[in-house]
Amino acid sequence: MDRSDDILSQRNTRGYRLIIFRQLQQAIEAMHRPEEVLQWLASLIVQRFDVAIVQFWTCASRLQGQPSAQLRAMAGQSSFQPAYLAGDKVAITIEQIARGQHTSPAQPVEQVFPLYLASLLQRYGLSYCAYCSVDRNVRFVSGEDTLPQDTSMGLIFVALLLFQRYPDHSLISTVGAVLEQALVLAERHGLLLPVSSGPLLAPQDAFSQEPLSVLSHLVPRRKQVAGLMLSSNPFAKSITISDKQALRLYEAIDGQLTVGQVCRRIGMTLDEAHIAFQVLLGLQCVELFTQEGEPVDADILFKNS
């Protein structure tokens, strides 16, 4: 079994993401620029997940009529990396990726890049690529950008992964989740600044408030367990909600009401709901969203519990 299989076949991928998150929590204290966070992440992905080359790009979240893709960090298994990977031609492809689907599984490079660029990549044995993007309402500190940046506009972070052989299919979703966590941490440490947006409360701002007060304004939704029936026994005890309070809360979730409203309906205090949510999130059967419908990283909300 190769190294990537070893990592990804672990029963608890969520647990592994938490390990990376905690390592980054420590490492970020010594970082001063968001590029350092991305560089740390790129090196870790290359080292741990057997990826030949990892790049992190950013693009403006809305089309500006001029190219906005910028390479922020890059790491590779070999010290010799093709120079054209940082060039304009790749930037054009990244711009297209940022406007398209958020995640793409590994596919042959010729399906993503122009043919001449794909054949250059193939000469280095880079036959497959995968990508994921994360759209966030953040900006870099002024002066850090080589391109002019609209401070009222968020950024799309694109992770581009190049492989010599076909990778595990769950790798890209793991990278997406890790990138999202890293960006939230970078925001919390002031390495990324919030855009001067309207009155809506961005999730990252919400985390700086009291956790219970934040929780009461979030909207819980029931989640269909992805691996249920395929890789996990639906009748196993670990799947069922044995905690009575958690079950009561779970049954009251309708996907519309906020946590505060659900608690009022079933006569549960926020403290009790907080504990019940930890049980439900542990079973991966609920998700939390802001009232605007943005998903919230519950790991951060419950990190001190």
Partner 1 sequence: MNTMLLPNLLDVSFCLVALFIAVRSFDIYASLRQSRLFILGLSMLLVSLSTAADFTASYVKVVALHTDWFLYIGQAVGFLFILLSLVPGSDRYLQRLMNLNVLAFVLLLIPLLLSAALPTLDPTARAVLGSVRLFSCLFILIAYFSAYTNKPTSFSLLMSSAFFFFTVDYLLNFTQYFVSDASQYFFRDVGDITGVIGLVMLVAAVSLD
User: By the criterion CB under 8 A, which residues form the site for partner 1?
Assistant: 9, 168-170, 222, 224-241, 247, 250-251, 285
Pair type for strands 155-163 and 138-139: unpaired
CB of 258 to partner 1, least distance (A): 19
User: Quick one: 222 or 303, whose CB is closer to partner 1?
Assistant: 222
User: Quick one: 12 or 208, whose CB is closer to partner 1?
Assistant: 12
Residue with tokens 């992805």: 226
Angle, to 10 degrees, between the axis of helix 244-252 and the axis of helix 270-282? 90
**Under a CB-based contact definition with an 8 Å cutoff, are residues 208 and 188 in contact?**
yes
Q: What gap in Å lies between CA 279 and CA 297, rounded to an integer?
A: 15
CB of 252 to partner 1, least distance (A): 12
Residue with tokens 């890049």: 113
CB of 1 to partner 1, least distance (A): 10
User: Quick one: 121 or 249, whose CB is closer to partner 1?
Assistant: 249
**Under a CB-based contact definition with an 8 Å cutoff, are residues 305 and 276 in contact?**
no
Other Cβ atoms closer than 10 A to 127: 18
Other Cβ atoms closer than 10 A to 263: 22
User: Quick one: 144 or 251, whose CB is closer to partner 1?
Assistant: 251
CB of 110 to partner 1, least distance (A): 25
CB of 235 to partner 1, least distance (A): 5
Beta strands in the chain (DSSP E): 53-60, 70-76, 103-108, 128-136, 138-139, 155-163, 193-194, 219-222, 286-289
User: Quick one: 17 or 222, whose CB is closer to partner 1?
Assistant: 222
User: Quick one: 98 or 253, whose CB is closer to partner 1?
Assistant: 253
Sign of dihedral through CA atoms 243, 246, 252, 255?
negative
CB of 117 to partner 1, least distance (A): 30
